[in-house]
Amino acid sequence: MSDVIIVGAGVVGAACAYYAARAGLDVTVLDRGPVAGGTTGAGEGNVLVSDKEPGPELDLAVLSSRLWRELAETSGGFEYEPKGGLVVAETPAIQERLVELAAEQGLPHDVVPAGGLRALEPHLAEGLAGGVHYPQDAQVQPMLAAARLLRHGADSFGHGALKLRLGVTVTGFVRSGDRVTGVRTDDGDMLAGAVVNAAGTWGGELAALAGVSLPVLPRRGFILVTEPLPEPLVRHKVYTAAYVTDVASDSAGLQTSAVVEGTPAGTVLIGASRERVGFDRTTSLPVLSRLAAQAVALFPALGAVRAIRSYCGFRPYCPDHLPVIGADPRAPGLHHACGHEGAGIGLAPATGHLLAQVLTGARPDLDLHPFRPDRFGSGEHR
Amino acid sequence: MTGPSPSPAIYDLAVVGGGPAGVAGALTAALRGLRVALVDSGARLGGQYFRHRGVPGEPPTEGFARFARQVRALTERAEVLTGRQVWAVTREDDGFTAHCLGGTAVRCRRLLIATGAHDRPLPFPGWDLPGVLTAGGAQALLKGQGVVAGDRVVVAGTGPFLLPVAAGLAAAGARIPGVYEANGGLGLARHPLLALGKAGEAARHLAAFARHRVPYRTRHAVVAAHGDRELEAVTVARLDRDWNVLDTRRVPCDTLATGYGFVPQIDLGVQLGCATRPDADGTPVLRADAAQRTTVPGVWAAGEPTGVGGRHLSELEGRIAGLSAAADHDDGPGPPELLLRRRARQRAFAAALLAAYPVKDGWRGWLRDDTLVCRCEEVPLARIREARDLGATDARSVKLLSRAGMGWCQGRICGHPVACLAGGDPAAPRRPIAQPVTLAALAELTLEEPHD
Amino acid sequence: MTFEITVDGRPVPALPGQTVGAALHAAGIRAWRTTRFGGRPRGLFCGIGVCFDCLVSVNGGPVERACLTEARPGDQVTTS
């Protein structure tokens, strides 16, 4: 028996496990698939502060950004790249808004005038109105990040403190009265002092097994990957201002905005699309076409570069676009760490760190009230 | 974008692939009066089997005269578009569009996927040294380009395809230090080709081997290639029945032609959502019914994409698909029983060959920690092991953690071995972009917006 | 019937209809690309456009598969 069972071996589950083990807890991580087989395996690895509006998510992102840097030093092995982000504006009016937003965020940043863009990104298109550079933005290889956090957590904090059980599906919860005391799985019951729902896009389904409602829904996103380039063509994470508004949008229809970045493997990743189509994995060529058009508009030199593959994933989002982090008062013993939408990689360490604080009875470094699981109105089933 | 603008015509049938299956299917449908377009990536039709350049003095490939007649008849009756690589097929309200590199878009009401197969090499130390070619690559050089792959050419792998490759190279003047077949303990005299009524074909290769003093060894394989910047020698191993190495010797050579069966190219079918099934050897192929219909209405498949079986089976399947597509168009008769019976016999033969030439697990023992498994991303065996150790439990997660299969070839070469090393059969490949396409071309696609 | 192309400045004969990859291989040039991580030599492998090992640039264009690219008189092939 473990102190904590964490359901989900994506990056959020891995970070929860890592910080819980670091706090001295015995942890078992369960996943029905492999490590990082869900949304983590379909992400770009964004560790962004720049795209967050001032408020609780930005606070979470700032904490997480610091923790990723620490993890890269202590654990490493997941291609942490503190490359910085560059948000570009197509018109002077948008540039004005970007500058205002940057001031409100209170983050380290440099306002880049139109004439200064090429110094940061030599291949950017002409005619852009300027941008804002955020040195804190970074990137990790998300699958490796999840796997390395699990490995490092298992190796570093005492024998047997972190166990990984893959290919095990949770089918229900073990209860003692109202209290969640473990999970039922296709491989038998497992008991623990607490259970953490880190099931990402499937977090709502898992919560339902415990009789509580958690409105986590999938938002599909495609990413295009280019041929490996001999010389880097894109140095930062570069995106257009539209990305910020799309992230927070409630529209069910297709939205695309250009997000372009290079990787250590030499490829260029091109996002980002958002649509609500359930769990449909069918590739949509029109979406890929739009992503390509936007990327070429931003970096004309990309026009001659070939796309060699694309992939899609399902971002777990909640109606208010904030994650769910903390104990669930409706099902004592159950905790949630899911619903991070497109920011799960970036927000994972802060989520794990704060949840470990909750689990060990420490006072969380951030107020978790905005992330509380029961904030969506009366969804209790029992 | 350069290149011709999309054709406004909507064909009754578009065929992708101009090998024996595609040409037979296209011709059959065209003879029934359908408006047919055939699209092929090569400069000439023929696929991997008929690579005849028509160079004087070159011995013709078996069956070539018939194929040439079919091509002539087809060219008079259908639109033949060569030199066009289809990178995606999309579904439209009234059919499908095949998108070709260079901008051609072929609109059709029905689609026949006859995209053939490519070699399936196995990794071993040194297999990425220049001078190591796939068996099909050596054959393509000889038949398609008039280039003998090397002076001293070792041929190794498994399957009947090794025989014509070695015989062709020997006839063209290459010295063949050995043909090493990893399976079978029977020798050429009791080769399955003889048992399966292909005596003439086998006897011809046998005679060629005798004439050119080519040693043919079963239960032998090349398990390492050596050389500084190019191939200089190979290690040939005697194998047990599971392909574990019993003993080895070094054989000097400048070229190795190697192949362990074939991988059907099913990307376009998977793009359209056609269901797949594992073939007898676990390789994913498109599911097809008695009339060669896939599970997607309006889409047929013939030849290797529905299961590796060689040119005779491919041609039959193409004809059956062509007739079935024609019946769909004109409500006339579908494929007759007699064709289906012939196909059944050919399929039994193909199944027997697949069973006679399996890939045995012992090849994993040929690899060292630093042996590249994925050539594109240069992923050695050690990184595959590390990925498994980190929690990758299937081929997809091994790929995500190791980068194996993420490069230029998109896992076409390493997909099978990586799946085996991950502990399973290869899954149907998801390649929404079947050929590298420039972002400019992708951006300029005029497509309907997706709707729910 | 033969014509000439140049490969990194060096003349190489080719036949009409022949691919750049076949012309190089026939001329005894078997290694013409080095890999981006390990600097390993590569040339033709699959010979039919599947493996992408034989990439070259023709007349300053983007890299393409030498085994699929038909050689034309005067082509200037550069390797990487």
3-state secondary structure string across chain C: CCEEEEECCEEEEECCCCEHHHHHHHCCCCCCEECCCCCCEECCCCCCCCCCCCEEEECCCCEEECCCCECCCCCEEECC
Domains and CATH numbers, chain B: 10-118+263-335 (3.50.50.60), 121-260 (3.50.50.60), 367-422 (1.10.10.1100)
Whose CA is closest to B139, among B115, B114, B161, B117? B161
- Taking CB atoms and an 8 Å limit, are C48 and B48 in contact across chains? yes
Predicted TM-score (pTM) above 0.80 = yes
> Sign of the C-alpha dihedral, residues B306, B309, B314, B315?
negative
pLDDT class of A272 with cuts at 50, 70, 90: confident
Domain A2-75+141-215+320-371 belongs in CATH node 3.50.50.60: yes
Q: How close, in Å, is residue B327 to chain A by CA atoms? A: 30
C37 contacts in B (CB within 8 Å)? 377-378
pLDDT class of A76 with cuts at 50, 70, 90: confident
Contact B443, A285 (CB under 8 A): no
Q: Which residues contact B427 (CB under 8 A, 6 or more apart)?
A: B284, B394, B395, B396, B419
- Residue B403 is predicted with a pLDDT of 95
More confident residue, B51 or A349: A349
Q: What is the dihedral of CA A198, A200, A205, A210, to 10 degrees?
A: 20
Q: How close, in Å, is residue C12 to chain B by CA atoms? A: 14
Q: Which chains touch A (3 or more CB pairs under 8 A)?
A: B, C
Spatial distance between the Cα atoms of B266 and B305, rounded to a whole number of angstroms: 6
B-contacting residues in C 51-80 (Cβ below 8 Å): 51-53, 55, 62, 67-68, 70
> Which tens digit of pLDDT belongs to each residue from B402-412?
999 999 999 99
- Taking CB atoms and an 8 Å limit, are C17 and B41 in contact across chains? no
Inter-helix orientation angle B199-211/B162-171, to 10°: 40
Relative to beta strand A334-338, strand A188-197 is parallel
Q: Which chains touch C (3 or more CB pairs under 8 A)?
A: A, B
Contact B179, B159 (CB under 8 A): no
Domains A2-75+141-215+320-371 and A85-136+217-317 share a fold: no
Query: Average pLDDT over chain A, rounded to whole?
Result: 93
- Residue B425 is predicted with a pLDDT of 82
Instruction: Please name the amino acid found at residue A157.
Output: F
Spatial distance between the Cα atoms of A216 and C33, rounded to a whole number of angstroms: 49
Q: How close, in Å, is residue B90 to chain A by CA atoms? A: 8
Token couple for A212: 């509580």
Spatial distance between the Cα atoms of A296 and A288, rounded to a whole number of angstroms: 12
Counted domains in chain C? 1
**Extents of the domains making up chain A:** 2-75+141-215+320-371, 85-136+217-317
pLDDT class of A274 with cuts at 50, 70, 90: confident
Q: Which residues contact A130 (CB under 8 A, 6 or more apart)?
A: A88, A89, A92, A95, A98, A111, A112, A113, A114, A116, A117
> Which tens digit of pLDDT belongs to each residue from B305-347?
999 998 999 999 999 999 999 999 999 999 999 999 999 999 9
More confident residue, A37 or A281: A37
Spatial distance between the Cα atoms of A180 and A5, rounded to a whole number of angstroms: 11
Of B323-327, B418-422, B442-446, C59-63, the one with minimum mean pLDDT is B442-446
**Could you please report the per-residue DSSP string of A214-231?**
---EEEEEEEEEEPPPSS
The beta strands (E) that lie in B51-94 are given as 79-81, 86-92
Preceding amide of A272 cis, omega within 30: yes
Q: How close, in Å, is residue A297 to chain B by CA atoms? A: 10
More confident residue, A158 or A346: A346
Mean pLDDT on B26-51:
91
Q: Which of B87, B397, B400, B430 to mutate to test the interface with A (most CBs of A within 10 A)?
A: B400
Burial of B448 (0-12, 13-18, 19+ CB in 10 A): exposed
- Which residue carries 């039922």 as its tokens? A184
Q: How close, in Å, is residue B149 to chain A by CA atoms? A: 29
ipTM over 0.95: yes
Q: Which of C18, C30, C36, C67 to mutate to test the interface with B (most CBs of B within 10 A)?
A: C30
Give the CATH number for residue C65: 3.10.20.30
Contact B413, C54 (CB under 8 A): no
Range of the domain at C13: 3-78
Residue of C nearest to A266 (CA): C36
More confident residue, B245 or C17: B245
A306 part of contact set with chain C, CB < 8 Å: yes
Query: Which of B43, B53, B229 is opposite residue C31, by nearest beta carbon?
Result: B229
Token couple for C38: 């390990």
pLDDT at A222 over 70: yes
Whose CA is closest to A145, among A63, A47, A290? A47
Query: Which of A150, A296, A303 is opposite residue B391, by nearest beta carbon?
Result: A150
- Residue B201 is predicted with a pLDDT of 74
Contact B168, B146 (CB under 8 A): no
Residue of A nearest to C62 (CA): A304
Which ranges of B196-236 does DSSP label H, i.e. alpha helix? 199-211
- Taking CB atoms and an 8 Å limit, are C44 and B141 in contact across chains? yes
A287 contacts in B (CB within 8 Å)? 450
- CATH fold of A85-136+217-317: D-Amino Acid Oxidase; Chain A, domain 2 (3.30.9)
Spatial distance between the Cα atoms of B118 and B189, rounded to a whole number of angstroms: 28
Instruction: Please name the amino acid found at residue B449.
Output: E
Contact B196, B204 (CB under 8 A): no
Query: Which of A227, A230, A305 is opposite residue C80, by nearest beta carbon?
Result: A230
Q: How many CB pairs under 8 A join A and B?
A: 127
* Percent of chain A with pLDDT strictly greater than 90: 84
Residue of C nearest to B138 (CA): C47
Spatial distance between the Cα atoms of B420 and B358, rounded to a whole number of angstroms: 13
Relative to beta strand B132-134, strand B117-119 is unpaired
Of A157-166, B35-44, B151-160, the one with minimum mean pLDDT is A157-166
Q: How close, in Å, is residue A304 to chain C by CA atoms? A: 8
pLDDT at A33 over 80: yes
- Taking CB atoms and an 8 Å limit, are B440 and A35 in contact across chains? no
Distance, C-alpha B29 to centroid of its chain: 24
Q: Which of C12, C45, C70 to mutate to test the interface with B (most CBs of B within 10 A)?
A: C45
B147 part of contact set with chain C, CB < 8 Å: yes
pLDDT class of A372 with cuts at 50, 70, 90: very high
Spatial distance between the Cα atoms of B247 and B82, rounded to a whole number of angstroms: 48
- Taking CB atoms and an 8 Å limit, are A266 and C36 in contact across chains? yes
Q: Which residues contact A316 (CB under 8 A, 6 or more apart)?
A: A39, A200, A201, A202, A203, A216, A217, A218, A219, A338, A339, A340, A341, A344
The three-state secondary structure class of A22 is helix
Q: How close, in Å, is residue A365 to chain B by CA atoms? A: 31
Residue of A nearest to C35 (CA): A230
Give backbone dihedrals phi and psi of A16, rounded to 5 degrees, phi first.
-60, -45
Token couple for B256: 């190795």
- Which residue carries 């003093």 as its tokens? B213
Contact B287, B277 (CB under 8 A): yes
Mean pLDDT on A366-376:
96
Q: How close, in Å, is residue C62 to chain A by CA atoms? A: 8
B354-365 burial by CB neighbour count: b if 16+ within 10 A, else e?
A: bebbbbbebbee
C16 part of contact set with chain B, CB < 8 Å: no
pLDDT at B189 over 60: no
